[in-house]
Structure 1
Amino acid sequence: MKTQPLREDKHCLNCGTEVPERYCTHCGQENAVPHESFGHLVKHFVGDVLHYDSQFLQTISYLLFRPGRLTKEYMAGRRVAFVNPIKLYIFVSFVFFLTWAMLSHDSHEKNEKRSAEKEAAAKQHEEDESQKIPSITGILGAVKDSLKNNKELARAVDSLAYRYRYDSARSHNAVAPVAAGSHDTAAARHTAAKAEEDDDLRLTDSEDDPRNKYGNEEAYDSAQAAMPKAQRDGWLKRYFTHKWMRLNPGDDRLQENLSESLKHHFPKMMFVLLPLFALWLKLIYNWKRWYYTDHAIFALHVHCFAYTVLLLAYILEKLTGVDGFIGWSVWLIFGYLVLALRNTYHQSFMRSFGKSLLLLFGYGISFAFVGVFFILIIFAVIL
């Protein structure tokens, strides 16, 4: 694109080196007139976009439909026609995590709205039932008064009134108070005893909570100081116990904050796992034939394929409302990994299959360790 006229001065504006032709032999800058026309800017923009698009389309084509071929081409030095693996990973992972976060946020809002509607409906139903109980029990009471002379019928009506109150209370997970004048039945005594037993069980389960056991941080520190040194909690447990005791037990935002923090740190966690994935490849393949950078390029390409397939599956689930696309995409990623290993490292299908299982096992171990590390960081920041 040589539409800009050359400068009469043959010295580079950037480094001062003499420029015999159009481009500086020292820094590579074009020795053209610095004042560009609008048409020249547009041509540069179109040229850069089309050049990137041609690279990107060919890269995606090789990545999706030719397992391992993109890595082989890059290792062989044929790189001009393809996007750099690091740039490709940054672009694909950015689109993946951004789209996933947006779609999951919409689903979270819909679930919250649906939960609020259910709670409102349940509350309205409870109010309606509570209004029904006095009216019906009042009618039954009037009938009982009119049948005072017939004690058997009066007892039957009274038992019916209590049974109605008891069934209505059970539908709301609580036993309705027995109205004055009603008989103390065995069912009422059994229900009250069961409720007391459940309360005792909940208290027993909550005894492990340091907030219930010690009350405050000062009491906890005093109890720790009174113990023998060998029986005291370690520094890490003491640290998180202090954090936990400062937490408000009724704070409903804790789970939301933890979820948001995990979403925020998940891309970082996956980026940390990339070199570990390459390290496992280094362990299971020939150390002398393959360099660590070769394994790193393979890891970048496999992760880009996984992100692309998972994103498409997630979008399909959202559009169709049918579950299962993500499950099938996981099997597709595993099959792609086997073929990519076979085509890149030139081994048999069975060897590639076995090493795929070994690689996933090691990757799972790395994922667990890195996940625990990030979760500890998140708890240390939030609590």
Structure 2
Amino acid sequence: MSDSLELSEISKATDASKIAEASEAAHAIAPAQCANCNTLLAGNYCHECGQTAHVHRSISHMIEELLHGVLHFDSKAWRTLPALIIHPGKLTRDYIDGKRTRYVSPLFLFLFLNLVMFVSLSYLGSSLTHDKSYKSYITGGMINEISNTKTRLEELNVKRQSLPANDPQLVAINSETEQLKLKLAGTEKALAASRAADDFEAAADNAKDSTQQNQLTWLERNINHALQNPDLVLYKMKGTASKFAFILIPISLPFMWLLFIRRKDIVLFDHCIFSLYSLSFICLLIMLVATLARVGWAGWSWVLILIVPPIHMFMQLRGTYQLTIGSALWRTLALLIVAGFALCVYFVAITWFSL
């Protein structure tokens, strides 16, 4: 009888310890309330705000979150970018229909690619405004000639000092030395005259500019300043183009709405998603074109610029709005005209703010 009582007490104690351990484990896994919004928890995640129930406070978990974020974006990017290039219509249609978890947000994708494009262009693009006039070549040539002549004279002088006084080579060395001295004197005078002429021309231009400055309008003064400092204006235009790239979307949206004015199943949000993905593809194309031009394949760059955008636009229009071939073709032509108009307005805007 006592043995059975002892076994019963031991069983109760074991059950109590198991219950306590289970309670502690459950409490460690999921606290009673969400640390973010104080909602009662029913699992490992809050059903109100989505935060995880267990809040970590360790450096290792911070690194884990960083790696997860990078790999998660990378996995989305590997699904989004190929679809953007090969199946743009399906990508846009899927996002509009609500299949969004697998893809990168079109707004984030556009902003990211826009930034990458302008950063890469600053490295890939070469300056189009280097001074390659004949005057700069002539001046540079004279400076190089003077330097080479002086170097040759020093070599002849060292060689002359190493030879004995009656050496027959001295006659040829002295003759070459005299010719080089005459050539050096003439080149130095020509360089001085060229520089004096440049200084006189610059002074005359400055005087002319100061005389006409009061007679010019604000726009004319800024245009003259741009022509005199093309590299600075080009640098400003690159920065302004990156900042104002978003204005292409509101410019194109009214025209997109007109193209589908009879389609009651299409809303302005759909056109916005279409425009964002389309502009994202253009960013990729511009980076590819700049790379090809940089490596010397400028001809292929022009081929891509002229052929790829219309084809991509046709594919995206047909897949996004479920159009027939004929309907997609005439809308593609109309949209190309709209895109040209939007680019003109965009170029005028960035030029205005860069002057």
TM-score range, shorter chain: 0.5 to 0.7
Find the counterpart in structure 1 of residue 82 from structure 2: 61
Find the counterpart in structure 1 of residue 122 from structure 2: 101
Structure 1 counterpart SS, 2:328: helix
Find the counterpart in structure 2 of residue 269 from structure 1: 244
1:365 aligns with 2:334: no
- Structure holding more helix per residue: 2
CA contact (8 A) 1:279 1:295 kept: no
1:294 deviates by: 0.3
1:256 deviates by: 1.9
CA contact (8 A) 1:269 1:371 kept: no
Find the counterpart in structure 2 of residue 84 from structure 1: 105
In 2, Cα distance between equivalents of 1:14 and 1:101: 43
Find the counterpart in structure 2 of residue 35 from structure 1: 57
Find the counterpart in structure 2 of residue 303 from structure 1: 279
In 1, Cα distance between equivalents of 2:209 and 2:290: 43
In 1, Cα distance between equivalents of 2:142 and 2:272: 57
Structure 2 counterpart SS, 1:26: coil
Question: Alignment length, in residue pairs?
Answer: 278
Structure 2 counterpart SS, 1:6: helix
CA contact (8 A) 2:310 2:336 kept: no
Q: What code does the residue aligned with 2:43 have?
A: E
What TM-score comes out, normalization by structure 1 length? 0.61
Query: Per-residue displacement from partner, 1:85-127 (whole Å, max 9, x unpaired)?
Result: 11111121111111011212xx239956999983554334897
In 1, Cα distance between equivalents of 2:92 and 2:270: 8
- RMSD, aligned CA: 4.1
Q: What code does the residue aligned with 2:302 have?
A: G
CA contact (8 A) 1:56 1:83 kept: yes
Query: Per-residue displacement from partner, 1:16-67 (whole Å, max 9, x unpaired)?
Result: 33334332333332232542362x3444333333322221101111111113
Query: Per-residue displacement from partner, 1:210-266 (whole Å, max 9, x unpaired)?
Result: 96696453xx5xxxxxxxxxxxxxxxx84446x559x88xx9862222111111111
Summarize the Cα distance change of 1:62–1:253 in structure 2 as closer, same or farther, 3 Å threshold: same
Give structure 2 stretches of 5+ with no counterpart. Answer: 1-25, 148-189, 191-200
Q: 1:25 aligns with which of 47, 52, 55?
A: 47
In 2, Cα distance between equivalents of 1:115 and 1:100: 29
Summarize the Cα distance change of 1:69–1:377 in structure 2 as closer, same or farther, 3 Å threshold: same
Query: Per-residue displacement from partner, 1:287-317 (whole Å, max 9, x unpaired)?
Result: 5221111011111111111221221222123
In 1, Cα distance between equivalents of 2:135 and 2:208: 30
CA contact (8 A) 2:29 2:44 kept: no
In the TM superposition, what are the counterparts of 1:1-383 in structure 2 within 5 Å? 6=28, 10-36=32-58, 38=60, 40-104=61-125, 107-108=126-127, 118-124=137-143, 215=212, 217=214, 220=215, 238-240=217-219, 243=221, 254-285=229-260, 286-319=262-295, 321-330=296-305, 331-379=307-355
In 1, Cα distance between equivalents of 2:211 and 2:129: 40
Give structure 1 stretches of 5+ with no counterpart. Answer: 129-171, 173-198, 221-236
CA contact (8 A) 1:276 1:363 kept: no
Task: Compare relative contact order (CA 8 Å, sep 6+) and give the higher one, 1 or 2.
Answer: 2
Q: What code does the residue aligned with 2:142 have?
A: K
Summarize the Cα distance change of 1:21–1:354 in structure 2 as closer, same or farther, 3 Å threshold: closer
What TM-score comes out, normalization by structure 2 length? 0.65
Structure 1 counterpart SS, 2:284: helix
